[in-house]
Structure 1
Amino acid sequence: MSLRKAEAVLARFGFDRYMLLLVLTVVLATVLPARGAAAVVLSHLTYWVIALLFFLYGAKLTTATIVAGLANWRLQLSVLALTFVLFPVLALALKPVSMLWLPAAVGVGFLYIGCMPSTVQSSIAFTAVSQGNVAGAVCAASISNLIGVILSPLLFATLIPQGSAYGIDPSAIWKIVQQILLPFALGQLCRPLLAGVLNRYRKPTMIVDRGSILLIVYAAFSAGVVNGIWQVISAGSLAILVALCLVLLGAVMGAAVLIGRAAGMNHADLMAVLYCGSTKSLATGLPMAGILFAGQDISLIILPLMLFHLLQLGVCAIIAQRMAGRLDLQPA
């Protein structure tokens, strides 16, 4: 079987190159983790790659898109309610269940999922494939991430038990602003100079986007392997974690559809709410975790978010493909 045919078969089940690269990155970190001086260099490189990523996000986002998206207040409020109200409540409810069978750090990571903002690239892509409101999705995902820079760590600090070993240092929020929000703002200021170049050369931007995530995953799991993560997590524990992530994802997706229909949204808006309201950002969550949980079991904490990210990509890809096929069959 050729590589293209193999990719086509995997695509039917929601697996694309990016998902396979994520899995291979974890395997690489397991077999060949960064140690010593290499780990230090990797840490510095990761910091600047993340800053570059959010600089490019800022440079790509047009003011017109923000204004058009904000005008649809039902869509925006629905996404924010799902992301920062329903998700944390459900994660908080499922956290005690997860801690019955999983290490404490993994249980904390499950709660961390609920506090994260929405994805940007994938939620917009799935909305476009499903013929949804792309402008609304761009605005909703971007606003979610901008708000999440401040709200996500504060929300997590509120939900985590007092006296927990995973408390947050207030100075971490300023570090997150420096690494994520300031580069984004600088990108917005530089947009008039860079917009044309970024529109012409989309592939390098995508490489930075996906490459930065792969780099963060490799760095985090390298540290985890050095500290014996796979001696702590068994195959049975992974299966339980996957099941809990699917329960969380399914519950929020169901709620997103119900909210959209109750609000009388058309198909385009409903698709934007579904994808933006039910997904969580790995690009924002990983660097934020590196700051919030410095010196702690980061690889165990981010493991639930990584698995959730892979599952949401697969499930959303399948839904988007079926939705696109169904719409193509409708008469013009």
Structure 2
Amino acid sequence: MHIFKHLKRVVTDWFLCGMVLAVFLAWLFPRFGATGGAMHAGLVTNIGVFIVFFLHGMNLSSEQIRHGLKNWRLHVMVQAFTFVVFPLLWLACDKTLGAFIPGTLMVGFLYLAALPSTISSSVALTGSAGGNVPAAILNASLSSVLGIFITPFLCALVIGGGSGGIDLGETLLDLCAMLLLPLVLGQLLRPLFGTFFGRHKRYTNLIDKAVILLLVYAAFCNSMVSGLWQQQGPSVLAMAVGGSALLLALILLLTTRTAKWLGFNHADKVAAVFCASKKSLAAGAPMAALIFNGNPGLGLILLPIMIYHPLQLIVCSIMAENYANRLRMEAAGLPLDATVTAR
């Protein structure tokens, strides 16, 4: 097991370090990034979110998506896990442990369970493990679009739409204006500018991550100003870490067993496991700012996905390497339990 290698990769990832720095800066300078502060966080993040989803639309290849349309059982499994199994697991946890977990943190776990899958990491890990890349692209992209509608619906279904709840109609309009519209615009303009943006994808990824860090900073600034974190102890962080780790372990076990039960070949199994177990921080941070607009507990609501994100990268990177090694052993005619390290 090369767990320390993967752990080092995550620890030295500038984006993950940036999330820690954003939280630290929010603790030092909370009023600067809070609502009404000098940063004008609402305007800055809205512009950033619009640009990010425009770039997502620009980089989304419709041709690759069409290539992934063949295996309908794989697609049904991934979307069912993303938007049905995850929320059902949350519901079971809420019924059994909800009385022992702070309400705002439980909302954070609900939000984590309702989020769509990632695109970039799901596709990258599927490719490195010899999986079905076109299917991964299709499922991750479809999940992101469906999440614009399903994620707020699931949250409103549990939290309600009354005072202190979620106005589903207004939220959907905001999400369509800020997420779906730029996504469609990006797709429409892709034939004209897709090649240019494809050559500079590194910079578009940089913009994507920078906007997420701004959203994390603004969310934690509002939480600091409201006094939320002064009311919470270290036990809340321990609950968030333990709950996220347990959820990831359970979902990986269920997706692996389900893919095996459905008789998927190696390529489809890899795509199913990686796409169905992921949750998107890239979509989660901007959507949370719109769904929970003005909620002082937004920092705590984002905490589970902020923890789940690096955990899924570490664990799934190890799994991807094991899958790839298994493929190389099979190609070389070696037994799967051979003590061979394929490099």
The TM-score normalised by the length of structure 2 is 0.87
Correspondent of 2:20 among 19, 23, 26: 23
Cα distance, 1:15 vs. partner?
A: 6.2
User: Hey, what's the Cα distance between the residues in 1 that align with 2:65 and 2:98?
Assistant: 40
Identity %: 38
Matched, 1:131 2:130: yes
| Residue 231 of structure 2: aligned partner | 232
Query: Which is worse superposed, 23-32 or 269-278?
Result: 23-32
Q: What amino acid sits opposite 1:29 in the alignment?
A: A
CA 1:164/1:256 → structure 2, altered by over 3 Å: closer, same or farther?
A: farther
Query: Which is worse superposed, 158-167 or 68-77?
Result: 158-167
User: Hey, what's the Cα distance between the residues in 2 that align with 1:158 and 1:35?
Assistant: 30
Q: What amino acid sits opposite 2:60 in the alignment?
A: L
| Residue 336 of structure 2: aligned partner | none
CA 1:254/1:102 → structure 2, altered by over 3 Å: closer, same or farther?
A: same
Instruction: Give secondary structure in 1 for the equivalent of 2:212.
Output: helix
Cα distance, 1:322 vs. partner?
A: 3.5
Q: Summarize deviations over 1:12-66 as a string: whole Å, max 9, x none.
A: 6776333222222222222233246545522211111111111111111122111
Query: Which is worse superposed, 156-165 or 41-50?
Result: 156-165
Kindly report which structure 2 residues correspond to 1:90-109, keeping only aligned pairs within 5 A, or say none: 90-109=89-108
| Residue 4 of structure 1: aligned partner | none
CA 1:108/1:166 → structure 2, altered by over 3 Å: closer, same or farther?
A: farther
Cα distance, 1:233 vs. partner?
A: 2.6
Instruction: Give secondary structure in 2 for the equivalent of 1:170.
Output: helix
| Residue 3 of structure 1: aligned partner | none
Kindly report which structure 2 residues correspond to 1:166-181, keeping only aligned pairs within 5 A, or say none: 166-181=165-180
Query: Which is worse superposed, 236-245 or 75-84?
Result: 236-245
CA 1:10/1:232 → structure 2, altered by over 3 Å: closer, same or farther?
A: same
Correspondent of 1:32 among 29, 32, 38: 29
Cα distance, 1:232 vs. partner?
A: 2.5
Cα distance, 1:86 vs. partner?
A: 0.4
| Residue 11 of structure 1: aligned partner | 8
Kindly report which structure 2 residues correspond to 1:1-332, keeping only aligned pairs within 5 A, or say none: 10-11=7-8, 16-33=13-30, 34-35=32-33, 38=37, 41-160=40-159, 165-296=164-295, 297-332=297-332
Q: Say if 1:14 and 1:316, in contact at 8 Å, map to a contact too.
A: no
User: Hey, what's the Cα distance between the residues in 2 that align with 1:306 and 1:218?
Assistant: 12
CA 1:156/1:239 → structure 2, altered by over 3 Å: closer, same or farther?
A: same
Instruction: Give secondary structure in 1 for the equivalent of 2:118.
Output: coil
Cα distance, 1:167 vs. partner?
A: 3.5
Q: What amino acid sits opposite 2:302 in the alignment?
A: I
Q: Summarize deviations over 1:265-299 as a string: whole Å, max 9, x none.
A: 11111111111111111122222221221222211
Q: Say if 2:161 and 2:167, in contact at 8 Å, map to a contact too.
A: no
Q: Summarize deviations over 1:122-168 as a string: whole Å, max 9, x none.
A: 21122122121121111101100101111111122223368673343
Q: Summarize deviations over 1:91-144 as a string: whole Å, max 9, x none.
A: 111124553333211111111111111111121122122121121111101100
Q: What amino acid sits opposite 2:313 in the alignment?
A: L
Cα distance, 1:10 vs. partner?
A: 3.8
Q: Say if 1:39 and 1:219, in contact at 8 Å, map to a contact too.
A: no
User: Hey, what's the Cα distance between the residues in 2 that align with 1:235 and 1:13?
Assistant: 23
User: Hey, what's the Cα distance between the residues in 1 that align with 2:131 and 2:8?
Assistant: 21
Q: Say if 2:255 and 2:273, in contact at 8 Å, map to a contact too.
A: yes
Q: Say if 2:215 and 2:289, in contact at 8 Å, map to a contact too.
A: no
Q: What amino acid sits opposite 1:48 in the alignment?
A: I
Aligned residues: 326
Q: Say if 1:10 and 1:16, in contact at 8 Å, map to a contact too.
A: no
